[in-house]
Structure 1
Amino acid sequence: MAEKSPKSSPQPLWIYGVNPVREWLLTHAELTLELLHSRRDDRIQTVVNMAQDRRIPVRFVDKKALSQILGLGNHQGIALRARRFPYASLEELLMDEEALSRPWLILDCIQDPQNLGAILRSACFLGISRVVLPKDRSAHVTPTVFKAAAGAPAHLAMARVTNLARAMDRLKEAGIWLIGLDLDGDQSLFDVDLTQPVGLVVGNEHSGLRALVKKKCDILAKIPALGPVQSLNAASAASIALAEAVRQRIHASQA
């Protein structure tokens, strides 16, 4: 049975910081309700001009007022209010003609917003465009995540699913080989063929992959520890795995 996407939250999404706001305007201007700024320097004005060119309402407010609206002071003098983050359904991601040409990233209950932001930033940097995460017991795209990711979520196709195990079954039906990252994995990640259609599955920061998620993986692979520190945080492990998948594909294309 196809996995349905949960309903989007009606709560508006605030995005702040020069780079995150710019990336959002480049990709999702149609979802933007207004832009607020408290500075008039050239860097801010460039982004303000982008908003005005897209007929987005712009307001100048003082720094204190902007800080009160956002509930924080480290906003770089600019923020926008968006209707929502445009999550897609899993089926929509699979319908894309490039669905099998790039690795997928499946996140099993990443709960720390900074970790999620770091993972999404690495994914975007490495050209990974499809991300699946569960609706419950997981961080999702918030202002903090968007800022930590330097605006990367604006360029990612992301699905929040109600049942991650069922979504993994659907990915396998579509021909995607699921590789779970696990400290006790059966083989080294560097010995796994990542040039085929694959989904890299990354577990929770503290407990790793849940038992059922592990069971749904085709392979459990570990990143070899060669030094005295024997573990990585979720963001570091995800970045290494994604980089290895990209490295293998570049090497295969040049062979």
Structure 2
Amino acid sequence: MSEQPDLIYGVHPVMEALKNPKRKFYSLKASKNAADRLAGEIAAAGLTPEIVHPRDLDRQLGSDTVHQGLLLAAKALAQPRLDQIEKSGVVVLLDQVTDPHNVGAILRTCAAFNVTALVATARHSPEGSGVLFKSASGAYEHVPYVKVTNLARAMNELKEYGFHILGLDSEATALIGEAARTPPLAIVLGAEGKGLRQLTRDTCDEFVRLDLDGPIKSLNVSNACAVALYALTR
């Protein structure tokens, strides 16, 4: 293998990967119970699993890993260029969101709302990892995860393709429900604490905030993503 394979564990991530016709598989380790549970998907993918004891996977992945008796090694998915992203819906951009749990949860939300792509910087964002795949619960197989070198440059390129770019900011004057929703549309989410960087802010077309009535006006970034996408797509 010339590149690092995706190591995917857990029932839902492995099941969705096995059903993805774009995937090339290297190997599958599975407990007897897990192999029986996904027997149909494993057979359809043309794989013969190596039956192992769950403790073998504990030793390989760590005792705290919730692998559910499954570990799949697969070729990393090819991702589209910015000019290949569909322009029929919403694109989510992440400005240095580094926690793989958060990015995985955001991918899951993006799949639920039929987001056309998730865009993040190659640096200061998590690589494809078992933690990200597990948190995404299979959504990684359905949402293009596009890595770019420079986020502001990528935003300007998306503008050339007709995208209107919203920046989510708890201090913004306009409510997200008041924003223009005609596709192609993109929304940028910043890291917790730091928010959007200045160059990212300078490149946004407008800023919007969530309509929150409570005393706390900011949310975890994955929760904010879910509320924002609901507001933009309902």
Q: TM-score range by the shorter chain?
A: over 0.9
Contact 1:185 1:221 (8 Å CA) reproduced: yes
Taking the aligned partners of 2:116 and 2:183, their CA distance within structure 1 comes to 16
Deviations 1:70-111 (A, max 9, x none): 234421111201122433322332xxxxx1211111111111
Deviations 1:155-199 (A, max 9, x none): 111210011111101100000000000122131111112133210
Taking the aligned partners of 2:211 and 2:41, their CA distance within structure 1 comes to 46
Q: CA deviation at 1:52?
A: 2.7
Q: CA deviation at 1:69?
A: 2.1
- The number of aligned residues is 232
Unaligned runs of 5+ in 1: 1-8, 94-98, 248-255
Q: 1:30 to 1:124 in 2, by over 3 A?
A: closer
| Residues 1:63 and 2:54 aligned together | yes
Aligned-residue sequence identity (percent) comes to 33
Unaligned runs of 5+ in 2: none
Match of 1:38 in 2: 31
Taking the aligned partners of 2:28 and 2:22, their CA distance within structure 1 comes to 11
Residue 19 (structure 1) aligned to one of 12, 34, 38: 12
Contact 2:19 2:45 (8 Å CA) reproduced: no
- The runs of at least 4 consecutive aligned structure 1 residues that moved more than 3 Å come to none
Contact 1:109 1:139 (8 Å CA) reproduced: no
Taking the aligned partners of 1:216 and 1:56, their CA distance within structure 2 comes to 47
Which stretch has the larger CA shift, 214-223 or 181-190?
181-190
Taking the aligned partners of 2:48 and 2:96, their CA distance within structure 1 comes to 37
Taking the aligned partners of 1:29 and 1:14, their CA distance within structure 2 comes to 16
1:137-176 aligned within 5 A? 137-176=124-163
Match of 1:115 in 2: 102
Which stretch has the larger CA shift, 196-205 or 21-30?
21-30
Match of 1:229 in 2: 216
Taking the aligned partners of 1:17 and 1:142, their CA distance within structure 2 comes to 12
| Residues 1:50 and 2:50 aligned together | no
Match of 1:124 in 2: 111
Cα RMSD for the two superposed structures: 1.7
Taking the aligned partners of 2:67 and 2:222, their CA distance within structure 1 comes to 24
Taking the aligned partners of 2:232 and 2:156, their CA distance within structure 1 comes to 21
Residue 84 (structure 1) aligned to one of 43, 55, 76: 76
